[in-house]
Amino acid sequence: MSQFLSSIEMNEDRFLALLENLISVSKQLQNSPSQGLIPREDLASDHVLALLEPHSTRNGGVLEVERVTFVEGRGNIIIKYPGSSDRTVAFIGSHLDVVPADPSGWSRDPFKLTREGDMLYGRGTTDCLGHVAMLTDLMVSLATNKPALTNSIVVVFIANEENGTFKGVGVDQLAREGYLDNLKNGPVFWVDAADSQPCIGTAGSAQWEMKVGGKLFHSGLPHKGINAIELAMDSVSYVQRKFFQDFPRHPREAEYNFATQSTFKATQISCPPSSLNQIPGGCTIQGDIRISPFYDIREVMNKIESYVEAISKDPSIVENPEVRGPHSKYVLPGEMNGKVSFKWVVEGDNGIACRLDSKGYSALLQATEEVLGSVKPYSIGGSLPLIRDLQDLGFDVQISGYGISSRYHADNEAASLSDLKCATRIISKVSFHFIMFTKIVWPNVFIFRSYLSWSNSKFDSLHWRCIMNSDSGIVWFRVSYTGNMFQ
């Protein structure tokens, strides 16, 4: 009966009806406390629960459905299709809140589902209500057909993903209070990425602020002032030089297909209002860092603080007469020094490198290739701190998602219906392949895999991957060699 998992298709009418209901309340799901927008995720989960309730154990069905609430009106939903063992396949991370939408920037109503051919428009279609509707529809299909499975299939919809200002609302509190502990008995797929391919790595991040004090003076007498803008620019340049020396591209980033390395950059600058003929006496620069998951963000943050401390002790070390000219000084002997202070705006988080030796990852690769015809794992400089937290707690976390990356958090946000249909097939095949992997008698497979691993240590261009046929369950190895073995 687990074979049923390899052939599940989306019920389009059911999916669209649910998504329409979810988008209709997305105005109340906007999450931006600084704008006074606190979401009420229960408005979305009410629609999810209404669809699941006829199939719940409370009504004689098979689904174990629970709303877990830590903050009133902001519940999380845990849905379990039980298997015959304690092993699990879990899909979490699809969230019930959305980022704000300003209707003035949209050509359609952001809080109403609009379909134009294959495209579905509305706030949350890509991030992440489309995933919520897709996974709910999948669980209803399981509950309707009742296949006998060894592994339980678990889906967790979370609150408060879009803003980390308030803690103890969503997945962080679920993990802290033990609601997710049983999910360590199998892979955990975080379903909130994009473009239908496996995401195998994300960056860590932190935001910073640098305040610079100079000496306000007439611009015709630059030798008597300290230009805060120039001091700020040269301070940032100094920190960047030191940063890229100490944290170059890590060798493992190529293995994970990271497009960019770790970065330190300014993103905003401001000064107190003054006349154009005055040397500015103050300046504030803000920015962020993006850190490869193979560096520890605490070490990086400590290093950056040491760079700024050196500037603070002697601002003359960043003077740049070749660029600024001979009169741009940051130390006025006998009078004053320029001042540079630095702070972190938010607590930093490490990135994640997913386990590439995981059976869950193998299942995701194979399912994606079967449905889409190719598989191209990628890594990004964006950050998903909640995922790294789960990995640090011992969960085998993999990342996937089926929205459109160019439409994330954008005006006229949209998702592709055909992509989400493929997502149903990929997710169900992931479950099938992982369950079949756990049924295989592995000793002979491991003997052959050990031989291949030994061979790969001798010949760097030998590549292999375990493959399983969805129809027959037969396992084989795909082995390829590039290069000259006899050099």
Q: What whole-number distance in Å separates Cα of residue 187 and Cα of residue 95?
A: 19
363/230 same-domain check = no
Q: Does a structural domain hold residue 48? A: yes
Q: Flag whether 20 is in a domain.
A: yes
Determine how many CB atoms are found less than 10 A away from the CB of residue 176. Answer: 14
Same domain, 211 and 195: no
Instruction: Say whether pLDDT at 147 is over 90.
Output: yes
Q: Where does a domain end: 313, 344, 375?
A: 344
Query: What pLDDT score does 467 carry?
Result: 52
| 226 and 183, same domain (yes or no) | no
CB-based contact 207:288 (threshold 8 Å): yes
The reply to whether omega before 128 is within 30° of 0 (cis) is yes
- Sorting pLDDT into bands at 50, 70 and 90, what band is 1? low
| Predicted confidence band of residue 454 (pLDDT cuts 50, 70, 90) | very low
- Beta strand 152-158 pairing with 88-95: parallel
Asked if residue 295 has pLDDT above 80, the reply is yes
Say which residues have a Cβ less than 8 Å from residue 176's Cβ, sequence separation at least 6.
168
The encoded tokens of residue 70 equal 């830590």
- Answer yes or no: do 99 and 82 share one domain: yes
For the stretch 408-448, pLDDT in tens is 889 999 999 999 999 999 999 999 989 886 654 444 444 44
Please report which confidence band the pLDDT of residue 449 belongs to, taking 50, 70 and 90 as the band edges.
very low
Binning pLDDT at 50, 70 and 90, where does residue 2 land?
A: low
Residue positions annotated with a catalytic role: 97, 161
Whether 7 has a pLDDT exceeding 60, the answer reads yes
What are the structure tokens assigned to 104, written together?
């003035």
The answer to the question of residue 96 being in a domain is yes
Per the structure block, which two tokens stand in for 2?
């687990």
Same domain, 173 and 44: yes
Give pLDDT, residue 448.
42
Q: If pLDDT is split at 50, 70 and 90, which confidence band does 455 have?
A: very low
In terms of domains, do 331 and 430 share one? Answer: no
Using the predicted structure, report yes or no on whether residue 462 has a pLDDT greater than 70.
Answer: no
Residue at 486 is within a domain: no
Q: Using 50, 70 and 90 to split pLDDT, how confident is the model at 458?
A: very low
Domain boundary among 288, 321, 344: 344
Q: Is residue 391 assigned to a domain?
A: yes
Which carries the bigger pLDDT value, residue 214 or residue 436?
214
Positions of E strands within 250-281: 263-270, 278-279
In 3-state terms, the chain is what percent helix, strand and coil (to 5)?
40, 25, 35
For residue 186, pLDDT beyond 70: yes
Check residue 472 and give its pLDDT.
43
Q: Taking phi first (over 0 means left), then psi (-120 to 50 degrees means alpha), and beta for anything else, what does residue 112 get?
A: beta
Q: List beta partners, residue 258.
A: 379
Residues 229-236 have a mean pLDDT of 97
Instruction: Report the CATH number that the domain containing residue 257 is assigned in CATH.
Output: 3.30.70.360
**Does residue 10 lie in a domain region?**
yes
- What's the mean pLDDT in 323-327? 94
Query: Higher-confidence residue: 165 or 270?
Result: 270
Residue that is written with structure tokens 């990356």 in the block: 405
Tokens of 345: 């705006």
Token readout for 460 is: 């760097």
Which residues lie closer than 8 Å to 423 by C-beta, 6 or more apart?
131, 134, 196, 402
What is the CA angle 423-428-431, rounded to 5?
A: 130
Query: Which helix or strand (DSSP H or E) is residue 131 part of?
Result: helix 129-145
Residues 308 and 360 grouped into a single domain:
no
What is the reported pLDDT for 443?
A: 44
The pLDDT mean for the chain works out to 90
Contacts of 339 (CB under 8 A, 6+ apart): 211, 212, 213, 312, 315
Q: How confident is the model over 8-58, as pLDDT tens digits?
A: 999 999 999 999 999 999 999 999 998 999 999 999 999 999 999 999 999
Q: What is the CATH number of the domain that holds 360?
A: 3.40.630.10
**Domain range for residue 309?**
204-344
Spatial separation of the C-alpha atoms in residues 176 and 350, rounded to whole Å: 18
What are 356-412's pLDDT values in tens digits? Answer: 999 999 999 999 999 999 999 999 998 887 899 899 999 999 999 999 988 888 999
Q: Residue 482: pLDDT band by 50, 70, 90 thresholds?
A: very low
24 within some domain: yes
Do 35 and 160 sit in the same domain of this protein?
A: yes
Ranking 2-11, 79-88, 411-420 by mean pLDDT, the lowest is: 2-11
- Residue 482, judged by CB atoms within 10 A of its CB (0-12, 13-18, 19+), counts as exposed
> How far is Cα 65 from Cα 60, in angstroms, rounded to an integer?
12
Structure tokens at 166: 């308030």
Structural domains counted in the chain: 3
Could you tell me if 81 and 142 are in contact, meaning their C-beta atoms sit under 8 angstroms apart? yes
Report angle CA 297, 299, 303 to the nearest 5 degrees: 115
Across 330-481, where does the E strand assignment appear?
331-332, 336-337, 339-344, 352-353, 378-379, 396-400, 414-416, 462-468, 475-481
Are 390 and 462 in the same domain? no
pLDDT top residue among 89 and 482: 89
User: What's the rounded mean pLDDT across residues 111-139?
Assistant: 98
Under DSSP, the state recorded for 226 is B
Do 372 and 305 reside in the same domain of the chain?
Answer: no
- Same domain? For 22 and 62 the reply is yes
Query: What is the pairing mode between strands 462-468 and 475-481?
Result: antiparallel
At 9, the amino acid letter reads E
Residue among 122, 107, 115 nearest 24 (CA): 122
- Clarify whether residues 287 and 434 are in a common domain: no
Q: Tell me the pLDDT band of 3, cut-offs 50, 70 and 90.
A: confident
Euclidean distance between CA atoms 179 and 239, whole angstroms: 43
Whether 227 maps to a domain, the answer reads: yes
pLDDT for 166 = 84
What are 58-63's contacts with CB under 8 Å, separation 24+? 61/143, 62/142, 62/143, 62/146, 63/139, 63/142, 63/143
Question: Is the pLDDT reported for residue 461 higher than 70?
Answer: no
Encoding tokens for residue 154?
Answer: 């678990």
